[in-house]
Chains A and B, each alone.
Chain A
Amino acid sequence: MRIELNGSPRELAEGASLADAVRAAGADEARGVAVALDAEVCPRREWAQTQLAEGSRVEVLAAIQGGAEDVTRFVSAPSRRTRR
């Protein structure tokens, strides 16, 4: 099954759950991690039961050092959020 994980294509086993995707993204602990599935926030308690589908878009986010001033370092990054 092919999904999009943090903006890159990723092959996961059939029947993979959101928890599997979180592990595949490199999150070795759930603390400080948040997940969006197809642009919707998914609470931690639902990761294991949430089945992924072909083409699912998964974002696995973690805490980084940040002040308002860091914005300049991210606006040119691939994950840039643009006005829609």
Chain B
Amino acid sequence: MTLGRSASQWELGGRTWTSRLIAGTGGFRSLEQMEQALQAAGAEIVTVALRRIDPDAKGSVLDVLDRLGLVALPNTAGCYTARDAVNTARLAREAFETDWIKLEVIGDDRTLFPDAVELLDAAEALVGEGFTVLPYTNDDPILARRLEEAGCAAVMPLGSPIGSGAGIRNPYNIAIIADRAAVPVVLDAGIGTASDAALAMELGCDAVMAASSIFGAADPAAMASALRLGVEAGYAARRAGRIPRRTHAEASTPEQGLPELS
């Protein structure tokens, strides 16, 4: 099967995208390093955050994103309650002039796992205010369904804890979520290397979000490129239709016609 560019396009929030890798912008040593990595990732959507203004900050992340033609997806990183997340989303809408929001409502600072109750509350409120809500969620198929029913434009289940690089700890749940969802599924958090990204796509995810696996790599731009290839390979393999796993061997060469040599 030949995969043309159009074959790999996907829709999110009413727009069509070519890249299936969403990148974070945080953690880089410099804006230059970030720019190189984002280019290597081939990302079209990148996440940004809001914090108290730093008058001494040099250069603006938005300038770089504008220059590269990337879409900024603001997040609610650091929010622990639905109330904080909703307020942060409203601020982000003012700052970035977008109604897209990557909704993160964290349960505690050790695991950074989402707080399911607060998350669903915030999602319902923000959908009601007209936001395009992209929630970072647990690898829980029921919660994913509830978020979809609440009107979220995608679900973004974690593979493993944020920044852990532990890959996809529960591939069965991710496959169930991807199988059931009518909205795009973006694997968020836990990606460590290219094979994790490929696995996410093989499990049926529509896209992958990566941040610390890129900025934390010894060579961020090289890893960004590797993740892009991993996403493409996984997507192609998913479409190709893999063979089933078996316990025992299955010979590919027929036994018929074997000569008797003893």
Contacts and interface: CB of A to CB of B under 8 A. Distances in A.
A35 B90 CA distance: 10
Interface stretch (B19-27, B138-146, B219-227, B229-237): B19-27
Interface stretch (B8-16, B73-81, B120-128, B251-259): B73-81
Nearest to B90: A41
B56 to A, nearest CB: 8
A27 interface: yes
Nearest to B164: A69
Interface residues of B, number: 53
A3 interface: no
A62 B50 contact: yes
B53 A27 contact: yes
A70 B91 contact: no
A41 B87 contact: yes
Interface string B1-43: 0000000000000000000000111111001001000000000
A69 B109 CA distance: 11
Given A34-B92, A74-B77, A67 B53 contact: no
Given A67-B211, A71-B162, A83-B81, A34 B94 contact: yes
Contacts of B53: 6, 25-27, 33, 60-62
A81 B95 contact: no
B202 to A, nearest CB: 22
B211 to A, nearest CB: 3
B26 A69 contact: yes
A55 interface: no
A69 B192 CA distance: 12
B24 A70 contact: yes
Contacts of B72: 63
Most buried by B among A33, A62, A63: A63
A66 B52 contact: no
A44 interface: yes
B47 A68 contact: yes
Nearest to B92: A34
B189 A26 contact: no
Given A69-B212, A70-B77, 13 more contacts: A26-B56, A31-B62, A35-B91, A36-B87, A36-B91, A63-B48, A64-B26, A64-B51, A67-B26, A67-B209, A67-B215, A68-B189, A70-B26
